[in-house]
Every structure is written in structure tokens, then in C-alpha cells.
Amino acid sequence: MHATTFTADQIRAAEAPLLEAQSHPDELMQSAAHAVYEAAEAMLAGGSGGSSGRALVLAGPGGNGGDALYAGAELQLAGHNVDALLTAGHAQERALSAFTNAGGTVLERLPEGSAEYALAIDGITGIGGSGGLRGELVDVVAWLRGVQVLAVDVPSGVDANTGVAGELHVSADATVTFGGWRRAHALAPECGVQLLADIGLPGRPLHSALLETLPEWAHEGPALVLANRAVPGPGHWPSSLTPLRAASVRPVEPGPYDDKYSGGVVGVRAGSDGYPGAALLAVSGAVHASPAMVRYAGPQAAEVVRAHPEVVVTQTLEDAGRVQAWVFGPGAGTDKAAAAELSWILRQEVPVLIDADGLTLLAEHPDLRQQVAKRQQTTVLTPHDGEFARLQKAAGVAAGIRFEETLALAATLRATIVRKGRITLVAPEDEPHLIHAVDAGHSWAATPGSGDVLAGIMGAHLALAAARTPYADAAIAATTTGAVTVHALAASLAAETPFGPATAPASRIAEFVRPATALCTRGTHA
């Protein structure tokens, strides 16, 4: 299930009537603070400092600083030693009084070292902050690198609406937010583990207030950002805190009347004499992701069938036979012959995924971009940020915020854009005001050839979706986010060793596509 995220203005609008209806001052703030306290207790119990670890509250003058101080008071009363540093020299008065009355200590300056602290609570800025932190906080940010950090609402220095981290910002191990997810929780890896507490007043939860106005925002408001996390973050959290969930992945199990042709045949054109590995990696991803036939067409046919004897190979696209989706690009070359092959594939009435060299060809050839824009069937483009920048320039799309420019390129090319990264963005071609963000939860997939494996996985998923139902563009977002989730989990599994995490070479990621698929389709990885 995808999580809806909200802008700061939407959060404030939903909070306003609750603030007006409070039975006593700071009622809503204290509700939020209790969620911060619960997250802090879990982190202290799981950290090296143990349940009695010392904590430091970094409190700014706004509401998040108040949340942090009230949470610090609860921690102090629960038996922890809690200090506070007022980063602006002052803070919310009632929250500060509650903290000192509980026995918390207000420090005049930042402690020299963080070794004696098991946790820091970041309440420096709130959701209204934009840009990076003030320069005088550089020592605070440096100090935080030596301790686990719990951010209140959004890590300080990270824009709540765009997820853009300023030059000086906090990177959190976990972030706890209230009522509804902020956009930053979908877009900023600096949030760490994302946690949601459904706070509010008795009988009036904040989440309900947000959902009540969602239909109006869907028609008149800003673009909707939907969030998922592929691999769960570390930690054991109380039931009152909901981590960001993984995207659903459709089952791949064949039906009682399926055969090797009906379960989603995918064709792969990848690799060259100069880049033979790209063919093997893309095919490997497809083979391990699909119950149906994989066809390979290209110069590495002999090497492919030697590695994967179940693959049907040909030298040319025309001889490949019937497929239900094509994958083109990894290591395929960028010469005239490759451009002609891509043009041929784009003329086929099946979904097409274009990656790597195929993206370079699109950036270099306006006629190929026109072919993409005119296609009736779905086209999926899977650029990393560098490839995206070249396509963006070629298509005349202005640079801007990452998710906004991704939406713009999808609309311009009339293609689904899967923009790869630690947080992968999926902009469906037919939804100009909707984007999906999938946080891998790690960066083990940032390795050569990993994208080739993803192309094979996603191509197989596209073929399977096309085979099982009359093809609908509405299924593309679910299909592509599901493939991204499988790939991210496979990379995480590939990095595991008996001695701890190590590396995840692309060939090893491919080996873990099957167990990752099993975990994802059964929902046991969440």
C-alpha cells in the first residue's frame, strides 16, 4: 500500500481546528511529544547505551523544539539522564518549564564530545524551515555525527515540501512525524527510518482531518507524492508508531492453465562485444523474476544460453518471436545499428523498457523521442540522475526540484519515468500530478551493473502484467514500483554475510531476485 504525503500547508490546515479545540494549552504538542518519547525509548533500548543511555535534546524556538522538550521531560521522568541545548537561546516556555521541572538540565554550550550520549533528539527547526541551517550550527551538526539521532517531524535543514537537504543539515537515524506523512519522508534519505504517530485530540485524530480534505487537494492542490520503503529500517518500534511500508508486489505464481508462453514472455536486447556482461546481467534479472519464457536477441546469444540454458536466443530482433514486453539498452551500443534496433522495438505493440545506451540514443535522436511520444503502448524509461540530466536537456525540460522535473519529463516524452537512486521516483506517463517515491532503505544497489539487473526484473514484470490482464496504463505504477522493491530487497539480501553486511555485486543481486520475490509477494519483508 502506498502512503499519501502532505505539504506543510496541508498539515497546518488540518491542525488548525484541532489547535482551536484544545482543552488546555499544548494538548496537541504533548500528544506529539509522547510519540517522540516512545520512539526515543525504543532507540535507547536498542542502542549501545542501553535503556539507561543519556540523551541530548536540541530544541529550537518553534513547535518541534517544544515537542522535543516535552519528550525530554518524559524521558527524564522515566529514569534517563536528559540534557537540553537551546539552539536559538530560547524555546517554548511551557515545554521548557516541563523539562526543567522533570529534572532535565539545560546546557549553556554544546558538550565537548558525544561519547557519553546514546541519543540526540533533533527539534531545531520545524516543517516551515527551508534551505539549510544557519552557519553557527555547524558544530552542532558535526557533533551529531557521533550519536544516533531522532528527528522530530523532519530533520532540521531538510525542506518538508521538497525533501531537498540544505548545505548544512541533520541526517537522522529515524524521524517521527504526526498525523500524516510529509513529502520529505518520501523524498529525503536524511530522514532515516520513517515513523508515523496518529496523534490528535480525543475522538479527533489528525490523520482523519487530513484525509477529509484529500479529495479537494487531489483536484486543486499540488502534485501528490506517494511514498514507500522497500527494505524495513532497523529497530523495534512500539505498535503506536507505524513505519513506512513497502509497495505491494503482484504474485508471480503461474495459474492452473498457464504455460511458458502465457505467463509474460519478455524479450531482451542488451550487451555487445564491448559490454558482454550487460546482456548476462539483464537476462539474469529477467530469468529470476519471471515464471515465463525469456527471449534474448543480440550478439551475446552464445554466452547468454551458456549461462542460462532456459533462455531462447537469436541473433536478430526479427527472429526473436512473440514477446509481451521488450527491454532495450544495457550495453547495446549507441551507433546507427543500435538506433535502428531501438526504432524497430518502438514500433512493436507491446510495452517497452529503455535503459542505459537506449537512453543515450533517445537523448541524441529527436526522431526516437518522437516515436516514444506517439506510442499507444506504455514506454518505461529508467535513467539514473546523469542519464536523466541528458534526457532533460535534450527534451527542453527546465531543471528544478527532483520530483517536479521528473514529472515534467514524463509529461513531455509521454513515457513513464523511473528515475533511479537511493530514492527511486516513478512518474506515470498518464498521471501529470502524481508521483511515486520508493526509498530503498539502503544504498547497496549503487554498484556497476545493478541497473541492468533492474531492467531485466522490470521488463519481466511488465510482460507478466501485460499477459495477465488487458494491458492498462493504470497498472504501470504498481508494476514498476513492485520491480523496484524486489530489486532493492535483493540487493539488501546480497550484501548480507555471516560476518555482517559487505558488498552486493550486480551478479550476486541477480541471484537473490528469487528469494526477494518470494518475500515481497508474501508481504513477509515489511
Q: Compute the average pLDDT of residues 429-458.
A: 95
* Lowest-confidence segment of 31-45, 393-407, 459-473 by average pLDDT: 459-473
Encode pLDDT of 74-131 as tens digits. Answer: 999 999 999 999 999 999 999 999 999 999 999 999 999 889 999 999 999 988 777 8
193-197/200-201 β-pairing:
unpaired
CA 357 from centre of chain: 25
Half-sphere exposure of 466 (CA within 13 A, CB side): 25
Integer Cα distance of 391 and 317 in angstroms: 25
Bridge partners (DSSP) listed for residue 381: 354, 417
What sign does the CA torsion over 490, 496, 501, 505 have?
negative
pLDDT for the residue numbered 169:
97
Distance between start and end Cα atoms, the chain: 11
Q: Which residues contact 45 (CB under 8 A, 6 or more apart)?
A: 51, 236
Q: What is the DSSP string of 253-321?
A: PPPTT--TTTTT-EEEE---SS-HHHHHHHHHHHHHH-SS-EEEESTTHHHHHHH-TTSEEESSSTTS-
Domain boundaries 266-521, CATH class: alpha beta
pTM above 0.85, yes or no: yes
Q: Pinpoint the residues of the chain covered by CATH 3.40.50.10260.
A: 3-241
**3-state secondary structure (DSSP) of residue 102:** coil
Q: Compute the average pLDDT of residues 4-13.
A: 88
Encode pLDDT of 259-276 as tens digits. Answer: 888 889 999 999 999 999
Find the Cα–Cα–Cα–Cα dihedral 184, 188, 191, 194, rounded to 10°: 60
pLDDT above 60 for 471: no
Encode pLDDT of 33-49 as tens digits. Answer: 999 999 999 999 986 44
How many other CB atoms sit within 10 Å of the CB of residue 20? 7
Q: Among 446, 70, 39, 65, which Cα is nearest to 236's?
A: 39
**3-state secondary structure (DSSP) of residue 435:** strand
At residue 403 the predicted structure's pLDDT band, cuts being 50, 70 and 90, is very high
Strands across the sheet containing 379-381: 181-182, 3-6, 224-229, 434-439, 423-427, 416-419, 379-381, 352-354, 325-328, 266-269, 294-297, 312-314
pLDDT above 70 for 356: yes
Q: Compute the average pLDDT of residues 372-380.
A: 96
At residue 415 the predicted structure's pLDDT band, cuts being 50, 70 and 90, is very high
CA distances in angstroms from 171 to 149, 188, 422, listed in the order given: 8, 10, 15
Provide, rounded to the nearest whole percent, the portion of the chain with pLDDT above 90: 77
User: What single-letter DSSP state applies at residue 158?
Assistant: B
Q: Which residues contact 307 (CB under 8 A, 6 or more apart)?
A: 280, 283, 284
Encode pLDDT of 199-222 as tens digits. Answer: 877 777 777 777 776 666 666 668
Please, are residues 237 and 192 in contact by the beta-carbon 8 Å criterion? no
Integer Cα distance of 30 and 366 in angstroms: 58
CA angle 123, 126, 131 (to 5 degrees): 110
pLDDT for the residue numbered 47:
61
Please, are residues 284 and 507 in contact by the beta-carbon 8 Å criterion? yes
User: What single-letter DSSP state applies at residue 191?
Assistant: G
pLDDT for the residue numbered 218:
61
Is 3-241 a CATH 3.40.50.10260 domain? yes
The rounded mean pLDDT for the chain is 92
Q: Among 397, 400, 407, which Cα is nearest to 427's?
A: 407
